């Protein structure tokens, strides 16, 4: 007699990523019941009368990937032209489906121009739209006068900040997003603009924590990042120029770091997002992309918890955006197993929902099954054969090579699936 109910699902036939062992285990199976993981069990325990068995035929089985920094509705110009609201929704529908087809089953969306993103999260949760489980922030909170061209909460002083945090949470925010600083290649990094003062940052973090929400921040340059870490912020997004003292403080405090390294690379700006003109590429590499990479290397060496985020602000990415971020992190020195955990378990921790990101008992049964061994070739992650969310199969390409080839055609190019409106980097006033 099987100890498992008859509707239990058994996924087997390939190595399984076991986060506790920091590696893949052979000859095991993933057991799923009622949309949750029962656990990883030896394959020899497969009940002889098991009705629901999914054989992945040698493919690698992982928890679903988590994108720690992506924007489903980042269409520019919505604030000025309401017709673009429709476009942003259509973008989001396309993008959410592509994420699932990329093996991404959860995401963190840190910042949208409007509160519609929270409703989109619900539409996904209710199954009306195919997409990852989303954790969403509404408009960013930023000091008045900041030269950021997005729709934001513009605030002045502690009371304003507190009100903005409360309003965002009332509107449905899972997390709070601050915009603390920006740079251009012409910036002096030591004095790059600060958009919130220390008191305002501290109030935002304290109020969000009081209301049970995490806080992330768009942050470029050391002074703003230091102030945010001093205030106990949960996540530094981008960061860009963190020094030895700060990365060691982040490691001590357990501050998460989502560097979005690929999105900030010169090649991405030049060839994918087309957000810098060719004549600015050298300066960008020298002043931004190169120092950012070194900063991420310092964070790796210090043991900072680094989560993987793609940040495709200006385009709908090709299906290998997450692979590109992981390849960029590994090229910068991250061990491949740490890259896999950055896109699963560490991202789950950065979001703050431990029911994600690992095949542990009770967790959401989100799985992605890949052809090839991602530890020796991260590109394998661009080819999900099977994607499951809440125990439900959303993608199954195991027996349809023509459909798989058609779906994966875009990953050969890496080019975006569609353009949005590029905002040229370096032209901020």
Per the CB < 8 A criterion, the answer to whether 61 and 30 are in contact is yes
Residue 311 or 371: the one with the smaller Cβ distance to Zn ion is 311
Are 319 and 98 spatial neighbours (Cβ–Cβ below 8 Å)? yes
The residues that bridge with 63 in the sheet, in sequence order, are: 367
Least distance in Å: CB of 66 to Zn ion? 15
Distance CA 193, CA 201 (A): 15
Site string for Zn ion, 262-301 (x = CB under 5 A): ----------------------------------------
Instruction: Examine residue 18 and tell whether it contacts Zn ion (CB under 5 A).
Output: no
Give the interface size with Zn ion as a residue count (CB under 5 A).
1
CB 207 within 8 A of CB 165: yes
Please state the φ and ψ torsions of residue 53, each to the nearest 5 degrees. Answer: -120, 125
Measured from the CB atom, the residue of 311 and 345 that comes closer to Zn ion is 311
Q: C-beta of 1: minimal distance to Zn ion in Å?
A: 52
The nearer residue to Zn ion, 68 or 363, going by C-beta atoms, is 68
We find the least distance from the C-beta atom of residue 316 to Zn ion, in angstroms, to be 14
Q: Which is nearer to Zn ion, 311 or 366 (CB)?
A: 311
Q: How far is the CB of 115 from Zn ion (least distance, A)?
A: 17
Distance CA 420, CA 334 (A): 32
In whole angstroms, how close is the CB of 271 to Zn ion at the nearest point?
A: 19
Q: How far is the CB of 177 from Zn ion (least distance, A)?
A: 8
Which CB, 56 or 137, lies closer to Zn ion? 137
340-379 binders of Zn ion (CB under 5 A): none
Phi and psi at residue 45, to the nearest 5°: -85, 5
Smallest separation, CB 182 to Zn ion (Å): 12
Q: Are 236 and 257 in contact (CB under 8 A)?
A: yes
Site for Zn ion in 300-319 (CB under 5 A): 311
**202 with 231: CB under 8 angstroms?**
yes
- Of residues 238, 375, 348, the one with CA closest to residue 299: 238
Complex with Zn ion: residue 285 or 311, whichever CB lies closer: 311
- Contact between 354 and 341 under an 8 Å Cβ cutoff? The reply is no
Q: Which is nearer to Zn ion, 54 or 208 (CB)?
A: 208
Close Cβ partners of 74 (under 8 Å, ≥ 6 residues apart): 88, 91, 112, 113, 312, 313, 314, 420
> By C-beta, is 311 or 320 nearer to Zn ion?
311
Task: Tell me, rounded to whole angstroms, the distance of Cα 11 from its chain centroid.
Answer: 26
> Which 8-state DSSP code applies to residue 373?
-
For residues 142-201, which are near Zn ion according to CB under 5 A?
none
Shortest distance, position 315 Cβ to Zn ion, whole Å: 13
- Nearest residue (CB) to Zn ion, 91 versus 311: 311
> And the tokens for 263?
């999105």
CA-to-CA distance for 153 and 69, rounded, in angstroms?
A: 20
Q: CB nearest Zn ion: which residue? A: 311
Structure tokens at 347: 């991202």
Q: State in angstroms the smallest separation of the CB of 68 from Zn ion.
A: 10
Residues forming contacts to Zn ion in the complex (CB under 5 A) are 311
């Amino acid at each position: 007699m099987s100890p498992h109910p008859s509707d239990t699902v058994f996924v087997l036939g390939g190595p399984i990523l076991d986060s506790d062992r920091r590696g893949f285990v052979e000859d095991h199976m993933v057991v799923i019941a009622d949309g949750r993981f029962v656990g990883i069990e030896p394959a020899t325990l497969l009940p002889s009368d098991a009705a629901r068995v999914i054989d992945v035929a040698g493919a690698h089985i992982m928890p679903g990937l988590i994108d720690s920094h992506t924007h489903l509705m980042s269409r520019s110009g919505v604030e000025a032209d309401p017709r673009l609201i429709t476009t942003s929704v259509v973008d989001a529908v396309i993008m959410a489906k592509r994420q699932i087809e990329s093996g991404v089953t959860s995401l963190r969306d840190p910042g949208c121009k409007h509160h519609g993103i929270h409703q989109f999260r619900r539409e996904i949760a209710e199954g009306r739209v195919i997409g990852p489980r989303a954790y969403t922030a509404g408009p960013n909170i930023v000091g008045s006068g900041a030269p950021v061209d997005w729709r934001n909460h513009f605030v002045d002083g502690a009371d304003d900040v507190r009100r903005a945090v409360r309003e965002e949470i009332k509107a449905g925010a899972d997390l709070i997003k601050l915009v603390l600083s920006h740079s251009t290649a012409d910036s002096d990094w030591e004095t790059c603009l600060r958009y919130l003062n220390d008191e305002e940052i501290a109030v935002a973090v304290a109020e969000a924590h009081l209301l049970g929400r995490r806080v992330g921040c768009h942050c470029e340059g050391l002074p703003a990042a230091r102030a945010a870490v001093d205030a106990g912020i949960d996540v530094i997004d981008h960061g860009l120029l963190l020094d030895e003292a700060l990365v060691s403080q982040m490691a001590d405090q357990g501050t998460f770091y989502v560097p979005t390294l690929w999105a900030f690379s010169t090649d991405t700006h030049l060839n994918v997002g087309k957000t810098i003109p060719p004549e600015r590429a050298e300066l960008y590499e020298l002043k931004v992309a190169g120092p950012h990479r070194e900063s991420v290397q310092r964070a790796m060496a210090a043991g900072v918890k680094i989560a993987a985020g793609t940040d495709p602000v200006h385009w709908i990415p090709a299906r290998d955006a997450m692979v590109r971020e992981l390849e960029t992190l590994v090229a910068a020195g991250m061990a491949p197993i740490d890259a896999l955990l950055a896109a699963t378990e560490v991202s789950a921790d950065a979001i703050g929902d431990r029911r994600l990101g690992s095949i542990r008992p009770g967790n959401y049964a989100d799985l992605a099954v890949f052809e090839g061994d991602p530890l020796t070739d991260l590109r394998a992650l661009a080819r999900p054969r099977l994607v499951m969310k809440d125990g439900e199969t959303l993608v199954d390409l195991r027996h349809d090579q023509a459909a798989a080839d058609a779906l994966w055609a875009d990953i050969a190019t890496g080019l975006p699936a569609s353009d949005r409106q590029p905002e040229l980097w370096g032209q901020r006033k």
